[in-house]
Amino acid sequence: MKLDKVDVKILEILQRDGRASFRDIAKKVGVTTPTVSSKVALYEQMGILKGFGAYLDTDALGEISIILSIKCKPSDVSKIAEKLKALEDVREVYLMGGSWVHAKVTLVDTTHLNEFIADLAKVEEILDYDYKAIVDTVKEEPRPVLSEGIHAVLTCFYCRKPMHDKPVKIKLDGKDHFLCCNTCVKEYRKKYEKLKDGM
């Protein structure tokens, strides 16, 4: 799906204010409220819109954030990433290619920071690590940069695989649904009907 001007405007408004009403968005963008609501449903289905949250300020909460770099064997990268992912204090995990994993970690105080680092030293797959505490956050924006013409990679609504070819579009209850192949269309219809029967 290629994002057009309307998509970009809607997503920008939502990125700034997740509480914006569909009516207000519609007014600002110059489309109807049902258009906004069906587009938002589509963004959610496509996985472009992962959810709505509130921004809290770590500084105001007196928390400490660190940027952590971990070096391990390339074969251990996914194991380390899974371990980090499971920890509540670890907020972001990035695989850097090769043997590096980076993470942003937020700890409630220095005692927790010291404990976290001590635990890290016990993980045998970690060959080396380094961390720096964030002293000040100069800029912090949501990662997606919105621009007209961006090609959002659609995932098949049934098998969830990314679709690089033209998807098969079917209309169910007035909404567009995207599938990768006719087999998925068949299975998806079955699943959809079953779900509807259950409602």
Cα 117 off chain centre by: 27
Instruction: Give the nearest distance from C-beta 163 to Zn ion in angstroms.
Output: 7
- Residue 14 vs 179, nearer CB to Zn ion: 179
- How far, CA to CA in Å, does 199 sit from each of 14, 17, 43, 193? 29, 32, 23, 10
Binding residue (CB under 5 A) for Zn ion from 36, 48, 180, 185: 180
- The stretch among 29-37, 103-111, 129-137, 177-185 that binds Zn ion (CB under 5 A) is 177-185
Looking at beta carbons only, is 77 or 156 nearer to Zn ion? 156
Instruction: Select from 50, 47, 24 the least CA-distant residue to 37.
Output: 24
Nearest distance in Å: CB 48, Zn ion: 18
Of the candidates 80, 93, 105, 184, which one interacts with Zn ion according to CB under 5 A? 184
Cβ nearer to Zn ion, comparing 73 with 164: 164
Instruction: Work out how close the CB of 42 gets to Zn ion at its nearest, in angstroms, rounded to a whole number.
Output: 17
Judged by CB under 5 A, the chain residues 132 through 171 that form the site for Zn ion are: 156, 158-159
- Give the phi and the psi of residue 2 in degrees, each rounded to 5: -95, 130
Q: Name the residue nearer to Zn ion (CB basis): 40 or 168.
A: 168
Cα dihedral 38, 39, 40, 43 sign: positive
User: Among residues 146 and 170, whose Cβ is nearest to Zn ion?
Assistant: 170
Does residue 185 touch Zn ion according to CB under 5 A?
no
Residue with tokens 């204010």: 17
Among 193, 190, 177, residue whose Cα is nearest residue 46 = 177
User: Please, which residue, 12 or 176, has the CB nearer to Zn ion?
Assistant: 176
Q: Which long-range contacts (CB under 8 A, 24 or more apart) does 127-130 make?
A: 127/71, 127/72, 127/73, 127/99, 128/70, 128/71, 129/68, 129/69, 129/70, 129/71, 130/68, 130/69
For residues 105 and 48, give the distance between their C-alpha atoms in angstroms, rounded to a whole number. 25
Smallest gap from residue 172 Cβ to Zn ion (A): 16
Binding site for Zn ion (CB under 5 A): 156, 158-159, 180, 184
